[in-house]
Chains A and B, each alone.
Chain A
Amino acid sequence: MSRDKSGILDWFSRRLNLTEIFSLLTSYGLFYAELDTRKPLREALDEALERPVVSYGRWPRVLGLIVVVLIALEILTGALLSLYFLPTPQTAHASLGTILRDVDFGWFVHQIHFWGAQLLIAVLIVRIVRFFIQGVYRKPRELVWVFAALLLLVCFHLDMTGRVLPLTETAFWSSVRALEVVNAVPVYGSFMFFLAGGGEMFVSDLTLLRFYILHAAILPVLAVTLIYLHFSTIRRIGLTEASGDRKRVGRAALRNHLVNLAIILTLLFALLVTLAVLTPLPFQREADPYATVPGVGPPWYLLAPFGFLEITAGIVPQWLAGLLLFVVFSAFLALPFLERSREDRGRRWAVPVIAGLVVLAWFLLTIYGARVA
């Protein structure tokens, strides 16, 4: 264990608690083992690597890590885009044109930002489905579920607020449709409607600025906080199969695992770049608030509520339909607490069956919503 004490790392570690800074990575699932922050970084790392690592970290339980990496990538590309993007109704569309046309690799950054967001939402959905199927919401993992579900909802909001920023035709009308849906939900709807600066035409001059601030400042902070809280709960209670896994895995296995992660992330990045180059998002015309583009529905994840409101329109008052949507969303968030209360009465099947029916209804309504849009 002879180390060169005059290295730059040691120069810093004598002046900074590098271990504590590095341990931040563990809070975001980038490094599994806990670090002893009182020890110097090298020592703490060596110690952590000596600790046995259980098999929970293997595929497909690396989705959380992918989420963190994708969010980091979104923040990075978003920051780059914000260097040139001018969020006013008069300049937004033209400044995206500048980014795509005149800025070196501007198109690439924009496409990565777009496709990264699509992948992020897809991964989050796959992840929440896995949590549901494997019961990662039962005691004591209630908070794991709540934070993951909240993170999914926040990312939907990030997607919605981001889409409208360049004020392209379909994005504009798509967000008008989305706000129509949102507006139907009591309490939450009127709050979001106020936040969006919604006026008589649903999208006002304030909307763009508000969406920009939500998209570039408030929601990312919220997302990063939720991820932190999410991984904090995991670090407190451990992962699902942590207990009872007696597989002997030492230092080499952890390093092996890190190599596996590197392979997965390389493939992820390669996929993103390929999507960005081969299937770029077309640059659409600027929206005209006085000319509705026919056949534009809300974003895909809002098609089901949209279809639901369309079906119930005229049968039940809109606030009642909105209330039902609110109940479904609340139930989604509060799933762990719903089941626990049922469990006592010996009806464990109730939650999966009802949830299955809701998912089926959601799927059918999405198809219906896409057809009426």
Chain B
Amino acid sequence: MKRRRSVLDLLCVIALLAGASGTARAAGQCGVCHPESRVAFAASIHAREQVTCTSCHGGDADTQNVERAHSGSFRGLRNRLATPEMCATCHSDLQMMSAYNLPVDQYAVYQTSQHGMAVAGGDSSAAVCIDCHGSHVIYAAADPRSSVASRNIPTTCGVCHSDEELMERYGLDPGVVEDYETGIHGRSLLIAGNLAAPNCTSCHGVHGATPPGVGDIDKVCGACHVQTRRAFLDGPHYQGMTEAGLPECATCHSNHAIQGLEVASIDTLCADCHGENSDEVLLGSKMHTLIEAATVEVEKAEALVLEGERAALDVEDHLGRIEEARTYLTEALPLAHSVSLEPVEQVTRRSRSIGEEVQHEIYAKLDRTEAHIGLVVFWFYVFMTLVILFLLKRRMSAGGEIA
């Protein structure tokens, strides 16, 4: 009995010691003087992965003596320009990063970017790691709280790129973020919350942030708009624009304030370069007409199918065909980038003929002529019955008082 108790006491003491030393190591003594940094850091992903104050700052975390804490390997990190190299000590270490499945070439890529090159040139205004990722509070990029989460990227880039004074120094347009936000990509990402929509880094690169040059724009846009790019490369515009030094896609669609162009704008768009009454404008309006006419037929067919559904027709097959017609219509606009009539005509003819076919079939099924003829015949019999009944009544009232 006595022995058991002493064993229990020993266990308690060990547990207490282990607990005390554990908390001391995790928090260190740095937070005693730097409480704000400690609180901010505690929320970050680094704190969860056993990165401590000394991992970046060096020094001795186990003492409250100011002198001793800030001695030895201590780094103040007051020099912004030194941070990329410092972060790279871990983030370029393949062994450390492989467990997190993180790439280790960021530092190398960063050095090729406009930001990295400026930093290499000693420009302390250029963006370093902490400008985008934050310093003490760093979240994983997939974390919606992160400054580099997809929906937060435009704001993060905008910290510098919307700063008029700063951008003037580099001769850059401070309106790009605002333009992006009004564009179809920005609205899709920020308003509709479509995380598949591109943010700044989708086109400009992440760590190797560099604007795509003329001649490369089709590749950048084509990464997502595959069919459109294929048609564009097939057509005469690609070569013509490259030779004229025009920024390909951006020539018509602009670069940041990208708008989904209405089909109707094909007419006027062509005239911008080719002049009014040109053959090209005629071609544009032909395409417009083809797409418009097909759309009208498909929409009419769809409305009829819904009407058929309300009349209890079996429209499962028709709904599928409408979907097919819509797919052809979706193909029409990318194909229009080949600036030749034939491929556009092909797909619009298909969607249009499907639309017309479906309309004919539903019309035939919705036809109530038989029922209406039946109703007329029915009323004829009703009328005859009434006539007979009235005649009967008259005859009865004529000889009615027999009783």
* A residues apposed to B, CB below 8 Å: 50, 96-97, 100-101, 107, 250-253, 255-256, 259-260, 262-263, 266-267, 269-270, 273-274, 277-278, 280, 282-285
B residues less than 8 Å from A250 (CB atoms) = 401, 403
A253 to B393, CA, bound (A): 10
Is B372's beta carbon under 8 Å from chain A?
yes
B397-A256 in contact (CB<8A): yes
Q: Which residues of B contact A284 (CB under 8 A)?
A: 310
Cβ of B386 < 8 Å from any Cβ of A?
A: yes
**Complexed CA–CA distance, A118 and B367 (Å):** 26
A259 touches B312 (CB 8 A): no
Interface residues of B in 27-74 (CB under 8 A from A): none
**B374, B382, B403: which has the most chain A beta carbons within 10 Å?**
B403
State whether A266 touches B386 (Cβ < 8 A): yes
Listed A/B pairs (25) with beta-carbon separation below 8 Å:
A50-B403, A96-B312, A97-B314, A100-B312, A101-B313, A250-B401, A250-B403, A251-B403, A252-B396, A252-B400, A252-B402, A256-B400, A259-B392, A263-B393, A266-B389, A269-B382, A270-B378, A270-B382, A273-B378, A277-B371, A280-B311, A282-B310, A283-B311, A283-B312, A284-B310
Residues of B within 8 A of A100 (CB): 312
A residues within 8 A CB of B375? 273-274, 277-278
Contact of B309 with A283 in the complex, beta carbons under 8 Å: yes
In the assembled complex, the CB of B368 is this many whole angstroms from the nearest CB of chain A, namely 8
B124 within 8 A of A: no
Q: Verify A277–B374 contact, CB threshold 8 A.
A: yes
A12 to B403, CA, bound (A): 29
Chain B residues in the interface with A (C-beta under 8 A): 309-314, 368, 371-372, 374-375, 378-379, 382, 385-386, 389-390, 392-393, 396-397, 399-403
Known A-B contacts A101-B313, A259-B389; the reply to A252 vs B397 at CB < 8 A is yes
List 9 A-B pairs, minimum CB-CB distance, nearest first. A252-B400, A100-B312, A283-B312, A282-B310, A250-B403, A270-B382, A251-B403, A277-B375, A259-B393
Instruction: Please measure, in the bound complex, the distance between the C-alpha atom of A260 and the C-alpha atom of B371, giving whole angstroms.
Output: 29
Q: Are A263 and B386 in contact (CB under 8 A)?
A: yes
Residues of chain B within 8 A (CB-CB) of A270 are: 378-379, 382
Of B382, B390, B397, which is in contact with the most chain A CB atoms at under 10 Å from its CB?
B382
Cα–Cα, bound, A278→B390 (Å): 27
Contact B400 A263, beta carbon cutoff 8 Å: no
The minimal Cβ–Cβ distance linking B344 to chain A, given in whole angstroms, is 35
Report the bound CA distance from A270 to B399 in whole Å. 30
* A266-B386, A266-B389, A270-B379 known; A97+B312 contact, CB < 8 A: yes
Nearest Cβ on chain A to B361's Cβ, whole angstroms: 15
Contacts of A274 in B (CB 8 A): 375, 379
Closest to A260 in B: B393
Cα of A50 to Cα of B314 in the assembled complex, Å: 59
- The smallest C-beta distance from A277 to any residue of chain B, in angstroms, reads 5
Instruction: From known contacts A256-B397, A266-B385, infer whether A107 and B378 are also in contact, taking CB-CB under 8 Å.
Output: no
CA distance A297 to B382 in the complex (A): 38
Q: Are A256 and B396 in contact (CB under 8 A)?
A: yes
Please state if A263 and B390 are interface contacts (CB–CB under 8 Å): yes
Contacts of A262 in B (CB 8 A): 389
Q: State the Cβ distance, B396 to closest chain A Cβ, in Å.
A: 5
| Total number of residue pairs linking A and B with CB closer than 8 Å | 64
Complex-state Cα separation, A220 to B214, whole angstroms? 80
Across-interface contacts of B403 in A (CB, < 8 A): 50, 250-252
- CB B338 to nearest CB in A, in angstroms, measures 41
Instruction: Give me 15 other A-B pairs in contact (C-beta within 8 A), A101-B312, A256-B393, A256-B400 excluded.
Output: A97-B314, A100-B312, A101-B314, A252-B399, A252-B400, A252-B402, A259-B389, A259-B393, A262-B389, A263-B386, A263-B389, A267-B382, A270-B379, A277-B372, A283-B312
Residues in A with CB closer than 8 Å to B314 are 97, 101
Taken together as a complex, chains A and B put the C-alpha atoms of A250 and B402 apart, in Å, by 9
Complex CA–CA separation, A270 to B375 (angstroms): 9
CA of A253 to CA of B311, assembled, Å: 47
Whether the pair B401, A252 counts as a contact (CB closer than 8 A) is: yes
> Considering only CB atoms, which chain B residue lies closest to A250 in the complex?
B403
Which residue among A251, A259, A278, A284 has the maximum number of chain B CB atoms within 10 Å of its CB? A259
Instruction: Decide: B310 and A283 in contact? CB cutoff 8 A.
Output: yes
For residue A236, give the distance in angstroms from its CB to the closest CB of chain B. Answer: 28
CB-based nearest A residue for B306: A285
- Give complex CA distance A100, B314 in Å: 10
Residues of B within 8 A of A251 (CB): 403
How many Å lie between the Cα of A325 and that of B396 in the bound state?
53
**Distance in angstroms between the alpha carbons of A283 and B396 in the assembled complex:** 47
Q: CA of A267 to CA of B378 in the docked complex: distance in angstroms?
A: 12
Pair A259/B382 contact, Cβ less than 8 Å: no
Residues of B within 8 A of A96 (CB): 312
A280→B368 CA distance, assembly (Å): 11
In the complex, what distance in Å separates the CA atom of A270 from the CA atom of B381?
10
State the CA gap A198–B312 with chains docked (Å). Answer: 29
Chain A residue numbers with a CB within 8 Å of B378 are 270, 273
Within the assembled complex, what's the spacing in Å between the Cα atoms of A259 and B312? 40
Query: When chains A and B are docked, how far (Å) is the Cα of A267 from the Cα of B385?
Result: 10
A255 touches B396 (CB 8 A): yes
A367 to B313 alpha-carbon distance, docked (Å): 35
Task: Give the docked Cα–Cα distance between A280 and B310 (Å).
Answer: 10
A314 CB to closest chain B CB (Å) equals 34
> With the chains together, A280 CA to B313 CA distance in Å?
14
In Å, the complex CA distance between A284 and B374 comes to 25
- Assembly CA distance A166 to B375 (angstroms): 27
Minimum Cβ distance to chain B for residue A339 (Å) = 40
Q: How far is the CA of A262 from the CA of B312 in the complex (A)?
A: 35
Q: Which residue of A lies closest to B308 (CB)?
A: A283
Q: Whole-angstrom distance between the alpha carbons of A50 and B402 in the complex?
A: 11
A270 CB, min distance to chain B CBs, angstroms: 4
Of all chain A residues, which has the CB nearest B371?
A: A277
In Å, the complex CA distance between A273 and B401 comes to 37
B225 CB to nearest chain A CB (Å): 34
- Taking a contact as CB atoms closer than 8 A, the residue among B312, B390, B392 that contacts A107 in the complex is B312
CA distance A266 to B372 in the complex (A): 19
Q: How far is the CA of A283 from the CA of B393 in the complex (A)?
A: 43
CA distance A251 to B397 in the complex (A): 11
Residue of B nearest to A261 (CB): B389
Residue of B whose beta carbon sits closest to that of A269 = B382
When C-beta atoms are compared, the residue in chain A nearest to B402 turns out to be: A252
A267 CA to B314 CA, complexed, in Å: 34
Which residues of chain A have C-beta atoms less than 8 A from B399's C-beta? Answer: 252
State whether B312 touches A253 (Cβ < 8 A). no
Q: Which of A270, A273, A278, A284 has the most CB of B within 10 A?
A: A270
Q: Provide the residues of chain B in CB contact with A97, threshold 8 Å.
A: 312, 314
Please measure, in the bound complex, the distance between the C-alpha atom of A277 and the C-alpha atom of B389, giving whole angstroms: 25
Q: How far is the CA of A267 from the CA of B383 in the complex (A)?
A: 9
Q: Give Cα A273 to B371, complex, Å.
A: 11
The answer for the CA separation of A101 and B315 in the assembled complex, in Å, is 11
* Docked complex Cα distance between A137 and B149 (Å): 76
In whole angstroms, what is the CA distance A252 to B393 when docked? 10
Interchain CB contact under 8 A, A285 and B396: no
**Residues in B whose Cβ lies below 8 Å from that of A283:** 309-312
